[in-house]
């Protein structure tokens, strides 16, 4: 390909709103452009990267025995009503009407469509198990589209759905998909972790794992144990809490019989834990946070220590609630007795769920349920009842691994893939059934498996970003080799470049030739931005068939960034590098 003919509008500066390194470079290297918030065009180079990622995903899905289909993006609302998700999905579901005013949704995921297909077409155990997949556009009206392709509103996903006669059969497919996902991410050159996850809104009755590309911009927190290899999303992470040294001292004091009494403290205009902490000069771990929730309409209180974060998923499970939302002002309007900002468990008059670490406190500072007042010396179990003690907080830095007791480590990750054992949630809701060996009607046991194809592009860009460009792994780079004549006007240089191009094309490589009449500095900067795995610079040495070669490999190994070679040696080098593609 001739660069003079390629639409690759490189930029010196990234638009101000681009806030992640990979996103900035995708824009600067002319790979993508934003059309609207979270909606992007792929320019030729970006499209090639996307196609390479798709190819890897497709090869691994086919290898795992999955069958490719293409399901409609535009889906009748009735289908979503059958599964109950037309309302449950909320504003993230893009909705539209046709000319007959029939309601449709733009697919954010395809469980409904694929389950309806199975219901109509599969009615015997003989046709099971099977797995369908597709690679296509999804729509989600995300509250916060961010970091370019990482969180789009229109994006490309590979979604797969498996149907099995029983859970054992599902297990086998799940394991095969798990291995396929590991291979995909390795082939994409990603540094990733597979973590235990929570089933979230898709729901389901079984195991679920997420695949996380490690990156600081990641919106997920991953909790790992270096000792035994435990890894989970923070939402799901199990832990043993570690009591602080001060806490232990307090405990000893109490054992020595020094129990203080409850004191009222005036704390005018002090509402948050942070404000209270600086006002009283006490650490948040000595305080109790009282949070009010509406659980299926009932107002309940949840207590966690001041330095801990409540885990709504855990609380929802504890309460067995369908819907759990933090009580806002409107919800509290009819409870004028509640002193918001000064809530506490003593005399609250609501059902209270107490976190394990709160129950273990000797004495605590809490709101006094009276504006401008707090209480100190409150003893859980004495000054208020511990009717329901549960684990309702997230793991925190310093907590220990449940398996081996080592301190847990926190890192940030980008969720690039997610596999679920759905069970019969959708087959039951939508009435999909098959006749088993004994002629009994059964619901197929389903699994679903998503991978963010466009998000993978963003995650690769993020992990391979440098100051000057993205160093694309050979497996996904838009071209294999960048041929850069210092001067295209120079006949000898042009001749050698064209010879090299032919030889590389003959070997099946994809070659980009910078045939522009630009200054060498401009060409080199653009080449860095575009970030192909190998650069061959043809300059004054052309007369003796000498070239300079630069590559990601050389840059990574810290050797001089370019080496002098003959043209033939350069070809041999390229072939060795690209073999690993
Ligand atoms: P997230 O928590 O990041 O919103 P999710 O749990 O909603 O993700 P799934 O419903 O499991 O995601 O979708 C499968 C895969 O699709 C995800 O693992 C992710 O890689 C990708 N994906 C989800 N939402 C987006 C998005 N808005 N933009 C790009 N990719 C996405
Ligand atoms: Mg989401």
- Alpha helices, DSSP H, located in 384-452: 425-430
Residues shown for the chain: 581
- pLDDT the model gives residue 205: 63
What is the Å distance from ligand 1's center to 462 Cα?
A: 17
- Does 481-577 match 19-237+410-462 at the fold level? no
- pLDDT > 90? residue 311: yes
Position in ligand 1 atom list of the atom nearest CA 157 = 16
Residue nearest atom 16 in ligand 1 by C-alpha distance = 452
CA distances from 238 to 140, 305, 324 (A): 30, 17, 21
What is the Å distance from ligand 2's center to 521 Cα?
A: 43
Residue nearest atom 31 in ligand 1 by C-alpha distance = 452
What is the Å distance from ligand 2's center to 477 Cα?
A: 28
Residue nearest atom 2 in ligand 1 by C-alpha distance = 415
- pLDDT > 80? residue 243: no
pLDDT tens figures, 542-566: 999 999 999 888 887 776 678 999 9
| Lowest mean pLDDT across 167-176, 206-215, 234-243, 316-325 | 234-243
Decide which of 498 and 323 is more confident: 498
What is the average pLDDT value for the chain, to the nearest integer?
93
Tokens standing for residue 244: 């602080």
Q: Could you tell me what percent of the chain has a pLDDT over 90?
A: 85
Whether a cis peptide bond, with omega within 30° of 0, leads into 133 is no
Buried b (16+ CB within 10 A) or exposed e, 557-566: eeeeebeebe
First CA to last CA across the chain, in angstroms?
20
- pLDDT the model gives residue 252: 58
Question: Residues 359-385: what's their mean pLDDT?
Answer: 94
pLDDT tens figures, 438-491: 999 999 999 999 999 999 999 999 999 999 999 999 999 999 999 999 999 999
Question: Residues 89-116: what's their mean pLDDT?
Answer: 97
Indicate the DSSP class of residue 284: G
Question: Residues 230-247: what's their mean pLDDT?
Answer: 80
- pLDDT the model gives residue 250: 61
Position in ligand 1 atom list of the atom nearest CA 210 = 18
Q: How confident is the model at residue 200 (pLDDT cuts 50, 70, 90)?
A: low
Which residue from 375, 456, 558, 440 is spatially nearest to 49, judged by alpha carbons? 456
* Ligand at shortest distance from the CA of 140: 1
Ligand 1 mutation pick, 157, 447, 456, max ligand atoms within 8 A of CB: 157
- pLDDT the model gives residue 251: 55
Ligand 1 mutation pick, 208, 415, 420, 451, max ligand atoms within 8 A of CB: 415
pTM of the model: 0.90
Look at the domain 246-390 and name its fold: YbaK protein (3.90.960)
- pLDDT > 60? residue 386: yes
Which residue from 189, 181, 179 is spatially nearest to 158, judged by alpha carbons? 181
Tokens standing for residue 403: 């398996």
Indicate the DSSP class of residue 10: -
What is the Å distance from ligand 2's center to 425 Cα?
A: 19
Q: How confident is the model at residue 254 (pLDDT cuts 50, 70, 90)?
A: low
Give the helix/strand (H/E) hosting 301: strand 298-305
Classified as helix, coil or strand, 553 is: helix
Residue nearest atom 13 in ligand 1 by C-alpha distance = 450
- pLDDT the model gives residue 201: 52
* Ligand at shortest distance from the CA of 109: 1
Q: In the chain, what is the greatest distance between 2 CA atoms, to the nearest angstrom? A: 95
Cβ < 6 A, ligand 1 pocket: 109, 140, 142, 151-152, 155, 157, 200, 202, 415-418, 450-452, 454-455
What is the Å distance from ligand 2's center to 13 Cα?
A: 30
pLDDT tens figures, 513-539: 999 999 999 999 999 999 999 999 999
Q: Where are the domains of the chain?
A: 19-237+410-462, 246-390, 481-577
Residues 19-237+410-462: name the CATH superfamily.
Bira Bifunctional Protein; Domain 2 (3.30.930.10)
| Lowest mean pLDDT across 29-33, 251-255, 505-509 | 251-255
- pLDDT > 80? residue 247: no
Residues 481-577: name the CATH superfamily.
Anticodon-binding domain (3.40.50.800)
| Lowest mean pLDDT across 197-211, 278-292, 329-343, 414-428 | 197-211
| Lowest mean pLDDT across 250-264, 307-321, 420-434 | 250-264
Position in ligand 1 atom list of the atom nearest CA 153 = 27
- pLDDT > 80? residue 257: no
What is the Å distance from ligand 2's center to 234 Cα?
A: 16
Ligand 1 mutation pick, 452, 457, 460, max ligand atoms within 8 A of CB: 452
Position in ligand 1 atom list of the atom nearest CA 456 = 20
């Amino acid at each position: 390909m001739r660069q003079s003919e390629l639409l690759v509008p490189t930029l010196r500066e990234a638009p101000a709103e681009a806030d992640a390194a990979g996103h900035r470079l995708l824009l600067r290297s002319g790979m993508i452009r934003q059309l609207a918030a979270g909606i992007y065009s792929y320019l030729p180079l970006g499209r090639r990267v996307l196609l390479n990622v798709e190819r890897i995903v497709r090869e691994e899905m086919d290898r795992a025995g999955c069958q490719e289909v293409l399901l409609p993006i535009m889906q009748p609302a009735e289908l979503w009503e059958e599964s109950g998700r037309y309302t449950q999905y909320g504003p993230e579901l893009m909705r539209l009407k046709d000319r007959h005013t029939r309601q449709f949704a733009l697919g954010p995921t395809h469980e409904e469509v694929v389950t309806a297909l199975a219901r109509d077409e599969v009615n015997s155990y003989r046709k099971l198990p099977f797995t369908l997949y597709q690679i296509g556009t999804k729509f989600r009206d995300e509250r916060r589209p961010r970091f370019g392709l990482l969180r789009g509103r229109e994006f490309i996903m590979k979604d797969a759905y498996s149907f099995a006669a029983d859970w054992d059969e599902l297990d086998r497919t799940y394991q095969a998909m798990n291995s396929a996902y590991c291979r995909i991410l390795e082939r994409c050159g990603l540094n990733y972790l597979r973590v235990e996850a929570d089933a979230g809104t898709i729901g389901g009755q079984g195991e679920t794992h997420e695949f996380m590309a490690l990156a600081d911009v990641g919106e997920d927190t991953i909790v790992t144990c270096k000792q035994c290899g435990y890894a989970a999303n923070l939402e799901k992470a199990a832990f043993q809490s570690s009591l602080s040294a001060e806490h232990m001292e307090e405990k000893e004091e109490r054992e020595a019989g020094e129990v203080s009494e409850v004191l009222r403290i005036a704390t005018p205009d002090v509402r948050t834990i942070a404000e209270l902490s600086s006002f009283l000069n006490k650490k948040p771990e000595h305080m109790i946070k009282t949070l009010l929730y509406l659980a299926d309409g009932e107002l309940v209180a949840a207590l966690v220590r001041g330095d801990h974060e409540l885990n709504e998923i855990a609380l929802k499970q504890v309460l067995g609630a369908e819907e759990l939302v933090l009580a806002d002002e409107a919800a509290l309007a009819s409870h004028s007795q509640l002193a918001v900002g000064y809530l506490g468990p003593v005399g609250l008059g609501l059902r209270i769920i107490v976190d394990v670490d709160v129950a273990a406190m000797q004495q605590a500072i809490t709101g006094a349920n009276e504006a401008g007042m707090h209480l100190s010396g409150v003893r859980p179990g004495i000054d208020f009842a511990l009717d329901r003690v549960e684990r309702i907080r997230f793991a925190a830095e310093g907590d220990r691994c449940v398996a081996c007791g080592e301190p847990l480590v926190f890192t940030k990750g980008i969720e690039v893939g997610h596999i679920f054992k759905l069970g019969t949630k959708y087959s039951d809701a939508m009435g999909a059934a098959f006749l088993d060996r004994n002629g009994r009607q059964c619901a197929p046991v389903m699994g679903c498996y998503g991978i963010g194809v466009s998000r993978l592009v963003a995650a690769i860009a993020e992990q391979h970003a440098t100051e000057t460009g993205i160093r694309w792994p050979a497996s996904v780079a838009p071209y294999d080799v960048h041929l850069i004549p210092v001067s295209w006007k120079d006949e000898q240089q042009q001749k050698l470049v064209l010879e090299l191009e032919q030889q590389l094309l003959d070997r099946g490589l994809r070659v980009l030739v910078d045939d522009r009449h630009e200054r060498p500095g401009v060409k080199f900067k653009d080449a860095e931005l575009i970030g192909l795995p190998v650069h061959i610079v043809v300059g004054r040495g052309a007369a003796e068939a000498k070239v300079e070669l630069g590559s990601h490999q050389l840059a990574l190994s810290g050797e001089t960034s370019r080496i002098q070679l003959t043209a033939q040696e350069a070809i041999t080098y390229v072939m060795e590098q690209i073999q690993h593609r």
